[in-house]
Amino acid sequence: MVSVANPPQSVNSTLDDLVPSRYAVKVGEIDALVVSDGVLPLPTSTMATNVDPEDLAKWLDYMCMPPDKFDWPLNVMVARSGKQTILIDAGLGNQFPGFPRAGQFPRRLDAAGIRLEDVTDVIITHMHMDHVGGLLVPEVRARLRPDVRIHVSKTEVDFWTAPDFSHTVMPDPVPPVLRTTARAFYDAYRDRLQMFDDEREVAPGVLVRMTGGHTPGHSVIELVAENERLLFAGDAMFPVGFDHPDWQNGFEHDPEKSTEVRIGLFKHMVKTRGLLVAAHLPFPSVGRVVEDGKAFRWVPVLWDY
């Protein structure tokens, strides 16, 4: 059984530190920590762009969610395998006005006793700004070791040289910011990029595999050790996807492929009964997936303190 260990916070924690922001999981001998980078508000219309708005409104009401805007959770993860400390995605950063509750992961890593200076590898699921923006924060860049290895699919890097937004349905200001952030990330870290084609074992039991869909080079990370496993699915799935796996998100560059990837990963999780973590499921987003007719059901783990 996967064991979970979450030490209590120090009595000296500040008020905002008392909000749950990290959750530790042990997968065999691999230590993993899900860290909340905060939240950012988005219009609910981006949640499902290929369905009647009334159907989306009914689902939102069924889920007791607000009809117009919702808080988009931002989760990153850290894994320790052998002598390597691997950061998986880097959140939004604090350089975007209007998102004051995002960009929290650096201080939350510090609070967990994990130093950015000790990170040996970074895995990027894809180059959207809420996954690479945290690496552009000056204080983060200054603290990362000069020999840090940043793993990202070659397809993803190639895509952002001339990105195609023709199949997305995003708020108008978003695509230009995505372009400039992806370019800034590449310019800042091009000499540290470790590009892969289809898959790579970054550390013992830490596997990254390209799926495509959400972006052409989107990738997922699976931790596998001693017959236990955990999948970090990046943006392959969102909360509505369990009930309606065919509903497409406005940020998906290839909606049809995204649907195929999402259903495939759900079926993989049902078969393996492994743990699932995703970037935009409510924190800590640790749970399992079971089949429910033509849809799926999300079963969160019971928190272990």
Residue pLDDT, tens place only, 240-258: 999 999 999 999 999 999 9
Average pLDDT over every residue of 152-165: 98
Type of residue found at 86: I
Q: Write down the pLDDT at residue 296.
A: 98
Would you list the DSSP string of 237-297? --GGGTT-TT---TT-SSHHHHHHHHHHHHHHHHHH--EEE-TTSSTT--EEEEEETTEEE
| Neighbouring-strand partners of residue 122 | 87, 150
What's the average model confidence in pLDDT over 81-103?
A: 93
On whether the CB atoms of residues 212 and 218 are closer than 8 A, the answer is yes
Contact 272, 27 (CB under 8 A): no
- Token pair 């993989």 is found at 268
pTM: 0.93
pLDDT category at 20 given cuts 50, 70, 90 is confident
Domains of the chain: 19-300 (3.60.15.10)
Mean pLDDT of 63-72: 93
Mean confidence (pLDDT) of the chain: 93
pLDDT at 10 over 90: no
Structure tokens at 214: 């959400």
**Residue 218 φ/ψ, nearest 5 degrees:** -55, 140
On the question of pLDDT at 35 being above 70, the answer is: yes
Compute the average pLDDT of residues 64-86.
96
Say whether pLDDT at 301 is over 50.
yes
Per-residue pLDDT for 5 more than 60?
no
Q: Does the pLDDT at position 16 exceed 60?
A: no
The predicted structure's pLDDT at residue 17: 58
Question: In this predicted structure, what is the pLDDT of residue 12?
Answer: 41
Provide the pLDDT confidence category of residue 259 given band limits of 50, 70 and 90: very high
Among left, alpha and beta (phi > 0; psi -120 to 50; other), residue 183 is alpha
**pLDDT single digits (tens) 263-281:** 999 999 999 999 999 999 9
175-224 pLDDT, tens digit per residue, is 999 999 999 999 999 999 999 999 999 999 999 999 999 999 999 999 99
Which residues does 269 contact at the CB level (< 8 Å), separation at least 6? 231, 276, 288, 289
Query: For 96-132, what is each residue's pLDDT tens digit?
Result: 888 889 999 999 999 999 999 999 999 999 999 999 9
Task: Say how many Å lie between the first and final Cα of the chain, rounded.
Answer: 16
Rg (CA), the chain: 18
How far CA 48 is from CA of 52, 145, 244, in Å, comes to 9, 40, 9
